[in-house]
A and B are shown apart, each in its own frame.
Chain A
Amino acid sequence: MGCFCLKKLGHKPGYEAPINLASETPFTVNEVEALYDLFKKLSSSIIDDGLIHKEEFQLALFKNSNKQNLFADRIFDLFDIKHNGVIEFGEFVRSLSVFHPNAPEADKIAFLFRLYDLRQTGCIEAEELKEMVTALLCENNMSLSEDVVDLIVEKTMMEADTKRDGKIDDEEWKEFVKKNPSIIKIMTLSDLKELTLAFPSFVMNSGVSDLQQPVKN
């Protein structure tokens, strides 16, 4: 059934076999297939070319393809492992795997560090933190004076930058996250656990048959 469908449709460039992706990630083959379903939806929302473009990503996150957002940009850049301006299916699955509830915490911490290290200097500078706080405030229409922003940043730097050199290095970051575990909550998507239930339509396309398939819809 499903095999036939998939083969007939063919795959867009950048497609990778679920079985390979499942072997490198915490996902099962079925889950990778469910992700493919999601990927297809996301990558075809504007241009149906099997690749997620920045606008499509923004559309998915904000329901608005023109919405610029510093953090969405950073996530996009990190997902775009090959740095070619688009997210391919393999990149999508590998990057999302860090968000899996069973993914190692160290990976989540490291991913977030890279995300916040805006200029990729290997450290999160106070300046970068300020930029991010300002972006967040702006996103939420909160206009705080620069003094207050400085104060917020300074307070956090006091706590995080234990070496007092004006930047947070990898080691300080790990310590800080341990003390403030709520920071990495966003690195876990519970949705990734019930993928096959969330995207039951994969069952129809599945290239692999499982004995127990969810009988939903």
Chain B
Amino acid sequence: MRKKTRTVGKYEVGRTIGQGTFAKVKFARNSVSGESVALKVLPKATILKHRMVDQIKREISIMKIVRHPNIVRLHEVLESRTKIYIILEFISGGELFDKIVHCGRLPENECRRYFQQLIDAVAHCHSKGVYHRDLKPENLLLDSYGDLKVSDFGLSALLQQGVGLLHTTCGTPNYVAPEVLSNQGYDGAAADIWSCGVILFFIMAGYLPFYEIDIPTLYKKISAGQFSSPFWFSPEANSLIKKILDPNPKTRIQIEGIKKHPWFKKNYLPVKPSEEEVNLDDVRAVFDDIEDQYVSEQSVAKEGGPLMMNAFEMITLSQGLNLSSLFDRQQDYVKRQTRFVSRKPPRDIISSVEAVAESMGLKVHTRNYKTRLERISANKVGEFAVVLEVFEVAPSLFMADVRKASGDTLEYHKFYKNFCTKLENIIWKPTEDVANPSVLRSLTC
């Protein structure tokens, strides 16, 4: 295992083909079978340092679970003393995106085949409760037989760190569903289907259905589902695309509907995903081991997580930026305590909030990481509603934003004080001044 040979297990390691903040991707060859693979190298120290163990474990597990002929396969996970190696199927044919860019639009029959493979892959993942959330032609690779392979299913967070393919069109919202743009909570399945529709349009037309230099106009068009198909689209293709690019996620066609559509059904050969037993032992072995070195951090076994709050969104929480206090006429500085920070897993935060709220006689309704608390009274006196949402600000660091949605402000203040006291065990306190309740207050806007 000295410098010369450069092997990892049975893999001979070759040149670096990609580099990100957290991982390097190298070309490698299985010395037993001769098969080419892509080797992702993650230094353990980095993962530990950034408290990403749970996240990476979750994502790797997802990638192992979603086995499908049209999804880039994760072969296995290996480790050395200091590094984790993820062995992925090596896809040689490049991106579908490049093919369109170089050769222009594709014939309808070819598009249909790619689309059928895409829908097969997406349907398979959805059946396992996994959503891609970033489907675009750059994430669709072609293998040496010209078959489609979806990459980065379940690896979205890793990808954000710049691992993997180098994306040139990084950050264009052209493929994003209207409900995702509007920043509301959304259904991952419907959003993925929208993106599939944009992809289908793109490969058939050679250009995007929603494309505007100026972003507000682009948003407007996406939100209105405003596009026009070129004359060469067949009427059936057109009818399907219209049903997919329906801005209302509730009426948008679903996978079942797509599969029943005459345009889709033509020459359709459903692929049976091999139902082989997925063994997560290697993933567990690798990660449980690192976790031992770490104070037990409970893993969130759920797919998805709370919304990320980016650095600028954090900055806007500064009291120095909140000019509305200039207009504060009342002298009362009993400001609303509108935020608290927690190091607990988001599931635990939500369940504690629910338990406390219920004990206070409030009606509780949770969706994802957003909880609505309501006090209802027969005579309508003292009624109010509160919305609490958990955001991830850094790995294992969460911020709960609490705001009054309606009702009596005074009642709300009374409630919130009481509520925070009861939530003490999940509210993360700064290292100093723990005894001082005003510290909590300073966590607010």
Physical interaction between A and B: yes
Q: A129-B311, A159-B160 are in contact. Are A189 and B327 (CB under 8 A)?
A: yes
B323–A183 CB distance below 8 A: no
B235 close to chain A: CB less than 8 A: no
Give the residue of A69, A152, A189, A198 whose beta carbon is less than 8 angstroms from that of B394: A152
CA gap between A135 and B443 in the complex, in Å: 13
Measured in the bound complex, the distance between the Cα atoms of B433 and A147 in whole Å is 23
B270 at interface, CB cutoff 8 A: no
Contact A180 B313 (CB under 8 A): yes
Which of the residues A105, A142, A176 comes within 8 Å of B341, measured between beta carbons? A142
Listed residue (A140, A180, A190) with the most chain B CB atoms within 10 angstroms of its CB: A140
Number of A-B contacts (CB under 8 A): 140
Determine whether A148 belongs to the interface, using a CB cutoff of 8 Å to chain B.
yes
Contacts A141-B433, A179-B173, A180-B312 given; indicate if A75 touches B219 (C-beta within 8 A). no
A141 with B430: in contact, given A61-B326, A182-B313 (CB under 8 Å)? Answer: yes
CA distance A186 to B324 in the complex (A): 9
Known: A136-B314, A159-B171. A63 touches B333 (CB 8 A): yes
Contact of A162 among B171, B312, B314 (CB under 8 A): B171
User: Which B300-344 residues have a C-beta within 8 angstroms of A?
Assistant: 308, 310-327, 329, 333, 341
Interface string of A147-184 (1 = CB under 8 A from B): 11001111110111010000000000011101111110
For window 68-83 of A, CB contacts with B under 8 Å fall at: 69-75
How far, in angstroms, from A144 to B51 measured CA to CA in the complex? 13
By beta carbon, the residue of chain A nearest B218 is: A178
Selected contact of A69 from candidates B160, B215, B318, CB within 8 Å: B318
CB proximity of A180 to chain B, nearest CB, Å: 6
A71 near B394: Cβ-Cβ < 8 Å: no
Residues of B within 8 A of A73 (CB): 320
**CB nearest neighbor in B for A154:** B21
The CA-CA distance from A69 to B319 in the complex, in Å, is 9
Note all chain A residues with C-beta closer than 8 A to B312: 116, 129, 156, 160, 176, 180, 183
Judge whether B295 is part of the interface by a CB distance below 8 angstroms: no
Is A42 part of the contact surface with B, judged by Cβ < 8 Å?
yes
Flag whether B49 is at the interface (Cβ < 8 A): yes
Q: In this complex, what residue of A is CB-closest to B443? A: A140
Q: Does B50 contact A (CB under 8 A)?
A: yes
If A140-B443, A153-B311 touch, whether A69 touches B323 (CB-CB below 8 Å) is no
- Which residues on A sit within 8 Å (CB–CB) of B432? 141
Interface residues of B, CB < 8 Å — how many? Answer: 47
How far, in angstroms, from A72 to B318 measured CA to CA in the complex? 9
Nearest chain-A residue to B341 (Cβ)?
A142
In the complex, per-residue mask of A117-145: 1 if CB is within 8 Å of any chain B CB, else 0: 00000000000010011011001111110
Query: Would you call B319 and A62 a contact (CB within 8 A)?
Result: yes
Query: CB of A60 within 8 A of chain B?
Result: yes
Q: Is A151 in contact with B50, judged by CB distance below 8 angstroms?
A: yes
Interface presence of B393 (CB below 8 A): yes
A49-69, CB < 8 A from B: 60-63, 69
Asked if A22 lies at the interface with its beta carbon under 8 angstroms from chain B, I say no
Is A48 interfacial (CB 8 A cutoff)?
A: no
B262 at the interface (CB under 8 A from A): no
Cα A143 to Cα B343 with chains together (Å)? 12
Whether B426 is near chain A, meaning CB under 8 Å from some CB there, is: no
Q: Is the CB of B50 within 8 A of A147?
A: yes
Residues of chain A contacted by B310 (CB below 8 angstroms): 152, 155-156, 159-160, 180
Known contacts A70-B320, A179-B173; A155 and B313 CB within 8 A of each other: no
Asked whether any CB of chain B lies closer than 8 Å to the CB of A103, the reply is: no
For chain A, what secondary structure do more than half of its interface residues adopt (helix, strand, loop), or is it mixed? Answer: helix
CB–CB A71/B315 < 8 A? yes
A24 part of interface (Cβ distance < 8 Å): no
| Distance A207 CA – B136 CA, assembled complex (angstroms) | 60
A97→B311 CA distance, assembly (Å): 26
Are A136 and B327 within 8 A (Cβ)?
no
Instruction: Check B442–A140 contact: CB distance below 8 A.
Output: yes
Q: In the bound complex, do residue A69 and residue B320 qualify as a contact, i.e. CB atoms below 8 Å apart?
A: yes
- Cα distance A182–B310 in the bound complex, in angstroms: 10
Q: Tell me which of B160, B314, B395 has the highest count of chain A C-beta atoms within 10 A of its own C-beta.
A: B314
Q: Please judge, given known A-B contacts A42-B326, A151-B50, whether A71 and B431 are in contact too, CB under 8 Å.
A: no
Nearest residue (CB) in A for B331 is A63
Collect the chain B residues with CB atoms within 8 Å of residue A176's CB: 312
> Min CB distance, B120 to chain A, in Å?
30
CA distance in complex: A134, B117 (Å): 47
A19 close to chain B: CB less than 8 A: no
A132 touches B431 (CB 8 A): no
B161 at the interface (CB under 8 A from A): yes
Q: Is the CB–CB distance between A183 and B325 below 8 Å?
A: no
Kindly state the separation between the CA atoms of A62 and B319 in the bound complex, as whole angstroms.
7
Residue contacts A-B, CB under 8 angstroms, 23 given: A38-B326, A60-B325, A60-B326, A61-B319, A62-B325, A69-B320, A70-B318, A70-B320, A71-B320, A73-B320, A132-B315, A140-B341, A141-B433, A143-B430, A148-B394, A152-B394, A158-B21, A158-B162, A178-B215, A181-B183, A182-B316, A189-B327, A198-B327
Further contacts, 10 of them, CB under 8 A, given A129-B312, A142-B341, A159-B171: A62-B319, A75-B321, A132-B315, A135-B318, A147-B49, A147-B50, A152-B311, A178-B173, A178-B215, A189-B324
CB-CB nearest 6 A-B residue pairs: A71-B320, A72-B320, A156-B311, A69-B320, A141-B430, A191-B327
